[in-house]
Structure 1
Amino acid sequence: MTGERLSLRTKLAYGVGDLGTGMTANILIFFLLPFLTNTVGMAAGLAGSIYAITRFWDAVNDPIIGILSDRTRSRWGRRRPWLLFSAIPFGLTFAAQWWIPFPGQMGPLFAYYLAVSLLFNTFYSAANIPYASLTAELTQDYDERTRLNQFRFAFSVGGSMVAVVTFPLLFNLLPDRAAGHLLAGACFGAISAVPLLLCFWGVRERFQSQRDPLPLLQQLRVAFSNRPYLFVSGIYLCSWLAFQFTATIIPYFIVFWMGLPEVWISLVVLAVQSVAVLTLFAWTCLSARLGKRAMYLIGAGFWLISQAGLFFLQAGQERLMIALALLAGIGVSATVYLGPWSMLPDVIDLDELHTGERREGIFYALMVFLQKVGLGLGLFFLGQVLDWAGFIPSVAGEPLPSQPESALLAIRLAIGPLPAVALIGGILLVWLYPITRQRHRQILRELEARRAGAAPEGSP
């Protein structure tokens, strides 16, 4: 149970499964709000409210999908059938978000983008929740789970790095920005479905509960009574909010504050994500040596320095901007990608010790929900702030307008102090997080003894 090693084939097959969801999530983070305000011509507050409404649906949808995947019984296991059957609709609904079916008609457009967002998030959950739940079912080793997430986020971040660079290149291929966005969305919609199918064929679940899970409300009560899980949830929400605020405002910061062409958006994102990929392996080694908590705290320190620097950045300091982006990538790798996701399987083991059941679905469902809460809150909050600050939306086919000083200040606050506050919240929660490597080993010994029908030696 401890010291086990998964094969390289299994790690690669598992890792590739997050390629499509990682690409689509990051494209939405960086380009969706600018698409709605600068190409569709929608007011920032109205555009942001679409994704706030969608989060209410996710509050119902995500736990239900987690429960259903826990209850699934098939010759393919509990999680893998969800990857198979959600792949195609996931890709189609992503592509549909980049179509402008009623140009200039804000009422019908609002209804369309809201409906498509609800559908896409449903299929995103149907793919990503069962996929994420596989981590705890492939291995129970403390450090091997970190390595497994290293492969997962190497593909996810690597894919998102390619996506955020090539997506704007694709939509700039055509002189019509609306047609260009549809072309880019269709290409990545098709690409994003394939990795889910590859993961379906490449992995097999190893640790599964054969008992039917508790009813949904009872599972939620048990989950939220798990104190370490509350810490992990808070850590992830704070980290993802910090990332979401920064990523969403980057296009506005580069174009309107730095006065640079849109190609710089891809360069900055490439700097962040490339360093995040390269440092995943270093953070994995550091985690094995010092523990997951120390890994997070050190990474957060790098990221805070970057956020402070971005707030004071001035037009003409492009090199310093790239340097700060590289520094942010080091921190993002540890705090957003590796840290919370490698902590969660340990919490699930503790839950099994307390309840006698393995209920990965509900725990991962709530984490995916928190990810989408971060996305929704980021888009909604920043949309409202930009509206309040007097941000001027674009008219399709016309040059981008000059923004008032109040809107420029709001953009700077959203890329510096606002993410820093969220990240400090994550630091405080990590400092108090109770499951160390030693505690996890004790949990596994007690589980092993229970399965063998004997009480562990020296256990309380």
Structure 2
Amino acid sequence: MKEISFGAKFSYGIGTMTYSIKDAAFAIFVLLFYKQVLGLSGTLTGLAIFISVMWDAVSDPMIGAWSDRLKSRWGRRHPMMVAGTLPLAFSFIMLFSPLDAVRDTQWPLFFWLLASVIAVRTFLTVFIIPHTAMGAEISDDYHERTSIVNFRTNLGWTIGVLLPAITLPLLFKDAGGIDGRFVIENYYYYGWVSFFAVILVATICIVGTRQFIPRLKEVASRNKPSIGFSGMIRDTLATLGNENFKRIIFLDLAMGAMMGVMGALNMIAYTYFWELTVLQISVLALASIAAVTIFFPGMSFIAQRWQKQTLLKFSVIGLFFNTLWLYPARLLDLLPENGSALLFVFIFINMMLFTGLTIIRTVNIHSIMADIADEHELKTGRRQEGVFFAAAAFATKFVMGFGYMVAGPLLDIIGLEAGVAPGDVPDTALLGIGVIMGPVLALLYVVPWWMSTKLDVSKERLAEVHSKLRSGEQIPDGPV
């Protein structure tokens, strides 16, 4: 198959920015806004996020299976991407614009948050699952798939860090001696920024990937799904018979649990533990941009020299050690005082390493997932990229919800009160944040490292699978 052009990869990859816009909102703003600004308890905030993820347990696989079976002149991916775009954009306005009538009472505010996050997650799923599945169908080449996922991952990281980096100093700057992060109206404007960002990147992706529709239809024609709703359920459950798929899902679950807690607490830690200013938090985005600048071209170089499974193991080990040094060093008084330039350099380096290693992990996991879809076709005769990537997406979202479910109550337990100013936080609360963000999170890396050693996804194995698919061979049912 011929190499995919830069422009085509860019048009495809930019679609993942819809997911990054969601991640930016949830990782940076949602917990701070609802708990510290609006006063919703951390437990209820975490519960709302967790319930929304339980809804994903139903919606993600069904939407993935529906996309796999959809037939239209636009193929089986693009119609759903179009359908999800506008509702997703409006969901961000809803999330950051709770009505005055619900702001001052716990349970009405809880249900507003719950409805908002369910809307965001559902319509994001309608767009992102078909989009991600498309990436496995654009090419079946071992290295080209890694290149495609590399575009998607790095473009996602770019908007994920730039959006809050730009909006924090513009929308959340101090005014009249008041920290902009604690002004309700600023979040309303952020919701509108998210709205327009979703519309822009989704439209570019949909229009720019129309050229792939003939290729997608050809791949879809090989799909042999079971008939009816019960058949769809059976086909979905059949994916769990793939041993490599189960291992990659467990790996992602463990990684996501760590990412979920970290994502939920990052803004809290920056604000209270490190006492960073809004400008400093914005500048931290440059650490991620530096990592993207290095690894965007660098992934192609290292992917040609090491196999995906090897790079995956390396990234997990690297993330483990990167988690162990920054927060523990502060707890042991080995770092300069808050406010010093040298301390900020250390935080910057930690973020750059985290981003680079996470890019390596994400690119290789998603590239491996595309290879597993080929393996599954050889076994069953069914092309189920939608189901595979829906399950992977749910695993990630489940543990992100788990992160909020854990982080919210933990903030209540350690005594971080709503509205408290940086510098006025009890030492016990600061100790709790440091322990969670350091040694506790590091322990979660044991499972993904172990799972990465069990995968059988070599380049030679994929070549064997493709050879059998081209010859029309299909192996009998059983573990692949």
Task: Settle same-fold status: TM greater than 0.5.
Answer: yes
In the alignment, residue 195 of structure 2 is paired with which amino acid? G
Q: Which among 252, 261, 277 is matched to residue 268 of structure 2?
A: 252
Contact 1:158 1:277 in 2 (8 A): no
Q: Which among 3, 6, 26 is matched to residue 5 of structure 1?
A: 3
Q: Which among 293, 298, 301 is matched to residue 309 of structure 2?
A: 293
Deviation at 1:72, TM superposition (A): 1.1
Partners of 2:264 and 2:289 lie apart in 1 by 15
Q: Structure 2 matches for 1:402-417, cutoff 5 A?
A: 402-417=424-439
In the alignment, residue 318 of structure 1 is paired with which amino acid? F
Q: Structure 2 matches for 1:38-437, cutoff 5 A?
A: 38-101=36-99, 102-172=102-172, 175=175, 177-203=183-209, 204-205=212-213, 206=215, 207-210=218-221, 211=223, 213-214=225-226, 215-314=231-330, 315-316=337-338, 317-335=343-361, 337-394=362-419, 399=421, 402-437=424-459
Partners of 2:314 and 2:430 lie apart in 1 by 31
Partners of 1:401 and 1:132 lie apart in 2 by 43
Counterpart secondary structure, 2:424: coil
Partners of 2:329 and 2:164 lie apart in 1 by 23
Counterpart secondary structure, 2:155: helix
Residue by residue over 1:163-195, the C-alpha shift from the partner in whole angstroms, topping out at 9 and shown as x without a partner, is 120232343158571111110111121111222
Pair 1:174–1:85, CA change in 2 (3 A): farther
Residue by residue over 1:116-151, the C-alpha shift from the partner in whole angstroms, topping out at 9 and shown as x without a partner, is 111111101000000000011111111100000111
TM-score, normalised by the number of residues in structure 2:
0.88
Deviation at 1:259, TM superposition (A): 2.5
Q: How big is the alpha-carbon RMSD for the aligned residues of Structure 1 and Structure 2?
A: 2.1
Deviation at 1:368, TM superposition (A): 1.2
Counterpart secondary structure, 2:472: helix
Contact 1:20 1:159 in 2 (8 A): no
Residue by residue over 1:303-325, the C-alpha shift from the partner in whole angstroms, topping out at 9 and shown as x without a partner, is 22321112224343222222222
Partners of 1:254 and 1:22 lie apart in 2 by 20
Contact 2:273 2:430 in 1 (8 A): yes
Contact 1:310 1:415 in 2 (8 A): no
In the alignment, residue 368 of structure 2 is paired with which amino acid? M
Contact 1:48 1:382 in 2 (8 A): yes
Deviation at 1:95, TM superposition (A): 2.1
Pair 1:93–1:152, CA change in 2 (3 A): same
Pair 1:129–1:440, CA change in 2 (3 A): same
Partners of 1:360 and 1:153 lie apart in 2 by 18
Counterpart secondary structure, 1:290: coil
Moved more, 351-360 or 412-421: 412-421
Deviation at 1:161, TM superposition (A): 1.7
Deviation at 1:276, TM superposition (A): 3.8
In the alignment, residue 219 of structure 2 is paired with which amino acid? Q
Query: Quick check: 1:445 aligned with 2:471?
Result: no
Counterpart secondary structure, 2:351: helix
Counterpart secondary structure, 2:71: coil
Counterpart secondary structure, 1:18: helix
Contact 1:238 1:423 in 2 (8 A): yes
Counterpart secondary structure, 1:208: helix
In the alignment, residue 192 of structure 1 is paired with which amino acid? V
Query: Quick check: 1:18 aligned with 2:43?
Result: no
Counterpart secondary structure, 2:282: helix
Paired residues in the alignment total 448
Which segments of 5 or more consecutive residues in structure 2 lack a partner in the other structure?
A: 331-336
Deviation at 1:196, TM superposition (A): 1.6
Partners of 1:391 and 1:257 lie apart in 2 by 11
Task: Give the aligned partner of residue 31 of structure 1.
Answer: 29
Moved more, 15-24 or 143-152: 15-24
Contact 2:20 2:156 in 1 (8 A): yes
Deviation at 1:273, TM superposition (A): 4.8
Pair 1:352–1:426, CA change in 2 (3 A): same
Contact 2:259 2:400 in 1 (8 A): no
Moved more, 273-282 or 375-384: 273-282
Query: What stretches of structure 1 move > 4 A for 4+ residues in a row?
Result: 173-176
Deviation at 1:232, TM superposition (A): 1.4
Pair 1:280–1:422, CA change in 2 (3 A): farther
Deviation at 1:57, TM superposition (A): 0.7
Deviation at 1:277, TM superposition (A): 4.8
Contact 1:171 1:179 in 2 (8 A): no
Residue by residue over 1:39-66, the C-alpha shift from the partner in whole angstroms, topping out at 9 and shown as x without a partner, is 1111111111111111111111111111
Pair 1:262–1:8, CA change in 2 (3 A): closer
Pair 1:200–1:447, CA change in 2 (3 A): same
Partners of 1:27 and 1:273 lie apart in 2 by 18
Partners of 1:29 and 1:353 lie apart in 2 by 39
In the alignment, residue 208 of structure 2 is paired with which amino acid? G
Pair 1:418–1:167, CA change in 2 (3 A): farther
Moved more, 24-33 or 143-152: 24-33
**Percent sequence identity over matched residues?**
22
Pair 1:276–1:414, CA change in 2 (3 A): farther
Pair 1:380–1:409, CA change in 2 (3 A): same
Partners of 1:346 and 1:380 lie apart in 2 by 33
Contact 1:248 1:378 in 2 (8 A): yes
